[in-house]
Amino acid sequence: MSIKLYGMVCGYMTMPKGFLVDGAEGDITAPILSYLIEHPRGTVVFDTGLEPQLHESDCDREEALGPLAPVTTVDFTPNEDIAARLEAAGRDPSKIDFMINSHLHLDHAGGNALLPNARWVVQQREHTAAFADEGYEKHYYRKRLFDLGHDVIKPDGEYDVFGDGSVVCTPTYGHTTGHQSLKLKLDEGEVMLTGDACYLCQSLDEMRLPPGFLEDPDEMLCTMHRFRDFQASGGALIFGHDPSQWAGKDGALEEIDVAKTPNARIKRT
């Protein structure tokens, strides 16, 4: 059964590049990414981007962005949130079947409220950490973004969404305690949406971990080695916030052509 992968940019965040790659200099304007997967038996959104209140001129940036507020510029307009992107492409946000969060940070779960009828798929470990009393203070989780009454599926490990191996949640711990990536079997081959388990192509190429927002460095390093093995076996990677993979695009929902996506495949010697 053929499935289709679409990507969209739901705003941008500009910050010191050293937040994403240890020792890097200058700033980076990172795309905030969401994906739509269309399967013969249903639709899936992977990550939901930023929350709508960040559109507002009177938004409390410190409350919304936490420790990122002093050093981050957000470029995010009302026509760029997950619901607007879907509607502009003729998809009804209220009819999405599954909403998968790689993890529950503000730029990956901020639009959960805009998919009100989707079944929510989040790793048990991530759910537990996010709902713990110290969830905000320790991990910067904001329950108002995701404690919304969705029907929830909480796998502890891999989760095959449609039972045919074509859309599989894959634990990639390290960035957070319960981070997951999404492995897809497309007509052209296997693709992994890394989420924040690997921010950039440079991160993987140089095996450089981010200095902050990192729950377990050893786990994350193991995850990145798995990504290298995945590529070596012919798989393609779509990284968490890599501007090079979205250069020249307007951000609207469009089908991803993996063969033409920069840095999705890297030949190594």
Domain ranges of the chain: 4-248
What's the confidence (pLDDT) of residue 109? 98
What's the confidence (pLDDT) of residue 1? 65
What's the confidence (pLDDT) of residue 267? 46
Q: Maximum Cα–Cα distance for the chain, whole Å? A: 52
Q: Where is average pLDDT lowest: 47-51, 67-71, 109-113, 177-181?
A: 67-71
| 149 contacts: CB under 8 Å, gap ≥ 6 | none
Q: Does domain 4-248 have CATH number 3.60.15.10?
A: yes
**Residue whose entry in the numeric block shows the structure tokens 């076996």:** 233
What's the confidence (pLDDT) of residue 159? 98
pLDDT at 146 over 60: yes
The larger pLDDT score, comparing residue 161 to residue 134, is at: 161
What's the confidence (pLDDT) of residue 138? 64
Average pLDDT, the chain: 94
Q: Choose among 153, 155, 157: nearest CA to 120.
A: 153
Q: Is 233 exposed, middle or buried (0-12, 13-18, 19+ CB in 10 A)?
A: exposed
pLDDT at 135 over 70: no
How many CB atoms neighbour CB 88 within 10 A?
13
pLDDT at 243 over 60: yes
The dihedral region occupied by 26, where left means phi > 0, alpha psi between -120 and 50, and beta the remainder, is: left
State mean pLDDT over 64-83: 92
The larger pLDDT score, comparing residue 133 to residue 144, is at: 144
What's the confidence (pLDDT) of residue 174? 96
What's the confidence (pLDDT) of residue 136? 62
What's the confidence (pLDDT) of residue 66? 84
Q: Where is average pLDDT lowest: 10-24, 53-67, 91-105?
A: 53-67
Instruction: Please give the order of strands across the beta sheet that includes 180-186.
Output: 159-160, 167-171, 180-186, 189-193, 236-238
What predicted TM-score, i.e. pTM, was given to this entire model? 0.96
Q: Where is average pLDDT lowest: 50-64, 67-81, 173-187?
A: 50-64
The dihedral region occupied by 255, where left means phi > 0, alpha psi between -120 and 50, and beta the remainder, is: beta
pLDDT above 70 covers a percentage of the chain that reads: 97
What's the confidence (pLDDT) of residue 268? 41
Q: Where is average pLDDT lowest: 11-15, 55-59, 261-265?
A: 55-59
State mean pLDDT over 121-127: 98
Segment 39-62, tens digit of pLDDT = 999 999 999 999 999 988 788 888
What's the confidence (pLDDT) of residue 269? 34
pLDDT above 90 covers a percentage of the chain that reads: 87
| 43 contacts: CB under 8 Å, gap ≥ 6 | 36, 37, 91, 95, 96, 97, 98
pLDDT at 105 over 50: yes
State mean pLDDT over 135-148: 83
The residues pairing with 44 across neighbouring beta strands, listed in sequence order, are 37, 98
